[in-house]
Amino acid sequence: MDATFETFKPKDPTIAQFVRYYYRDIQPANTTREIECFPHFHTTLSLYSSHIRTADKAMTFIENATPSQFYTPMQEEVLIVKQVGPVNRIVIVFKPLGIHQFLKVKNIPQTVTTMELFGEIELEQMFQANNVDELTSLLDTALLQRYVAYENEIVYKAVDYIFSHYKNFSVEALASYLHISRRHVARIFTAHFGTPVKKFQEIVLFRKTLEQKLFVDTTQSFTALAYEENFSDQAHLNKTFEKFTQHSPSQFFRKGKLLGEEDTFWHLRE
């Protein structure tokens, strides 16, 4: 099997409301690699074909091990993923509140943890899929079987407001829009996302800035980028990147690699 990284989207319209995309990551010759993943408002469920998570938190290949499932919540800091041995994994990238639609228990974990969403037979079928179309159908079907709409109008309205106002945002304005107190807003975001509301907005701004640079205008200067995304100045842009990536903007983009056709942008150590 050749090394592969490919992104693909759900075809079922219901699932597409809550899943941004899927990706398949196959690295048969891998020995050890570390992936630096950067803060995002998305969450993920990673399905590994034959791995365990060892004491040092590495995803380690064990021949003939049963498939495993690991949930990664919204991250505020750089997350290092270490993979030892060959890699064969399928990842579901959820939009905000996406994972809530498919779990009977709505108390979503706020740390990287195992999550038994799919059965062993379903996982085996996914890893045996011959092509992306077949895999998409299997993933869509498995999720649709677990779909129960998560009803919480105020949280949806809060998230939509931030995505519409991330360039000019204040907690006071959000609380006023929702007709609730700032304290109530804070409780909502801590309970549902494990992060303060202001930090959520800062991560949205950071990721939208990445999208602008990666997909809209790759030649745009950082000064122009700061202006485009309504940072106070380039120094503010620099500070934001250093906060979320531990690199200056120029270092971050120079060291990074865009994989697939979505926004998977990593720093790889192999």
Residue type, 117: L
pLDDT of residue 108: 86
pLDDT tens for 43-81 read 999 999 999 999 888 999 999 999 999 999 999 999 999
Domains and CATH numbers, the chain: 4-146 (2.60.120), 153-249 (1.10.10.60)
Q: Go through 2-39 and write b for each residue having 16 or more CB atoms within 10 A of its CB, e for each that does not.
A: eeeeebbbbebeebeebbbbbbbbbbeebeeeebbbbb
180 half-sphere exposure, CB direction, 13 A CA radius: 14
Distance, CA of 126 to chain centre: 20
Instruction: Give me the chain's average pLDDT, please.
Output: 96
Structure tokens at 47: 């399905």
DSSP string, 79-107: EEEEEES-EEEEEEEEPTT-GGGG-S---
Amino acid 107: pLDDT:
77
Res 1 pLDDT > 90: no
pLDDT digits (tens, 9 = 90+) for 125-142: 999 999 999 999 999 999
Prediction pTM value: 0.96
Nearest alpha-carbon partner for 202 in 43, 41, 37: 41
| pLDDT for the residue numbered 105 | 74
Write the burial class of residue 90 (CB in 10 Å: 0-12 exposed, 13-18 middle, 19+ buried).
buried
Instruction: Encode pLDDT of 211-238 as tens digits.
Output: 999 999 999 999 999 999 999 999 999 9
Distance CA 201, CA 198 (A): 5
Question: At which residue do the structure tokens 């791995």 appear?
Answer: 51
Examine the pLDDT at 146 and tell me if it is beyond 80: yes
Percentage above 70 pLDDT, the chain: 100
In tens, the pLDDT along 151-200 reads 999 999 999 999 999 999 999 999 999 999 999 999 999 999 999 999 99
